[in-house]
Copies of this chain bind each other. A is one copy, B any other.
Amino acid sequence: MQNKPTILISNDDGITALGIRTLVEVAKQFGNVVVVAPDSPQSAQGHSITIEDPIRIHSSDIFGPDVKAYECTGTPVDCIKLAKNVVLKDQKIDLCLSGINHGSNASTNVIYSGTMSAAMEACMEGIPAIGFSLLDFSADADFSAAKTFVEQIVANALSNGLGETLLLNVNIPKLPESEIKGIKICRQAKGYWSEDFQKGTDPMGRDYYWLTGKYVYQDEGEDSDIWALENGYVSIVPVMYDLTDHAALSSLDHFSNL
């Protein structure tokens, strides 16, 4: 056991989701698995953390006797912080896996994603991390093809590392395994959500708005994650948390000369 890597797993769909169950099944083949995941769905939580309230963790036997698992009342990022500082305090975490998310985290969805924020938090603490997402929002999505690619990618990450980055955003098309053409290394596609709030009236007669909308792609390039997914490939985008727009630094001298 002592040579097996320690693999930390979290997600944003909650500890009972089918996606995290699939990820745990894969990771068990490769290492000692510890799960710290939200006790309820936390989609679109972004990189939020809980600072105004206490959080709680409870151990769970949901993944059987071989997997130490905890459900947490906090956000996906809280789960990673608790895992590193309480559950696995002073222990080395070799790899953090997040997901498999039910739904796409390609293009700018990475910014809203709780799945990717959990992985990013691990990476900010120096732990190599991979977020996985399947392009199927349904709770009973078919993860069988995804599982094959997650297996390949985790095996390769453990053997060969993550190149010169610490964080990968992996998205898997909603296709049968035989129709998936392979894996492409990509950049994040340009795009944004075009919203169309649904206005309604609640049983107390009060107006409400409910967020809806469609994603607008603004990218024609064949090197983007969206292109890869639309053309039958699994996309891998290396992700960083330096948000500096370095190319724009020299265009702002008019502010420093005020």
In the complex the two chains form, what is the Cα distance from A85 to B190 in whole Å? 21
Contact residue among B164, B209, B251 (Cβ-Cβ distance under 8 Å from A86): B209
Whether the Cβ atoms of A111 and B241 lie closer than 8 Å is: yes
Whether the Cβ atoms of A111 and B244 lie closer than 8 Å is: no
Q: Is A242 an interface residue (CB 8 A)?
A: yes
Copies in the complex: 2
Whether the Cβ atoms of A208 and B54 lie closer than 8 Å is: yes
Whether the Cβ atoms of B243 and A185 lie closer than 8 Å is: no
Query: Taking the nearest CB of chain B, how far is it from the CB of A71, in angstroms?
Result: 13
Q: A44-B49, A195-B85, A244-B238 are in contact. Are A252 and B211 (CB under 8 A)?
A: no
Residue numbers in B under 8 Å from A112 (CB-CB): 47-49, 77
Residue numbers in B under 8 Å from A117 (CB-CB): 46
Contact residue among B56, B124, B165, B253 (Cβ-Cβ distance under 8 Å from A207): B56
Residue numbers in B under 8 Å from A81 (CB-CB): 195, 197, 211
Chain B residue nearest to A200 in the complex (CB) = B54
Residue numbers in B under 8 Å from A31 (CB-CB): none
Q: Is A1 an interface residue (CB 8 A)?
A: no
Whether the Cβ atoms of B54 and A243 lie closer than 8 Å is: no
Q: A81-B211, A208-B54 are in contact. Are A163 and B258 (CB under 8 A)?
A: no
Q: Count residues of A near B (Cβ-Cβ below 8 Å).
A: 83
Q: A162-B252, A254-B156 are in contact. Are A246 and B47 (CB under 8 A)?
A: no
In A232-258, the 8 Å CB interface with B consists of 236-249, 251-256, 258
Whether the Cβ atoms of A249 and B153 lie closer than 8 Å is: no
Chain B residue nearest to A228 in the complex (CB) = B256
In the complex the two chains form, what is the Cα distance from A196 to B90 in whole Å? 12
Residue numbers in B under 8 Å from A52 (CB-CB): 41, 43
Chain B residue nearest to A218 in the complex (CB) = B126
Residue numbers in B under 8 Å from A241 (CB-CB): 108, 111, 243
- Please list the residues of chain A having a beta carbon within 8 angstroms of any beta carbon in chain B: 41, 43-57, 77-78, 81-82, 84-86, 108, 110-112, 114, 117, 120, 124-125, 152-153, 156, 160, 162-165, 167-168, 182-185, 187-188, 190, 192, 195-197, 199-200, 202, 206-211, 236-249, 251-256, 258
List 4 extra interface pairs beyond A43-B52, A162-B252, CB under 8 A.
A54-B208, A81-B195, A183-B255, A238-B245
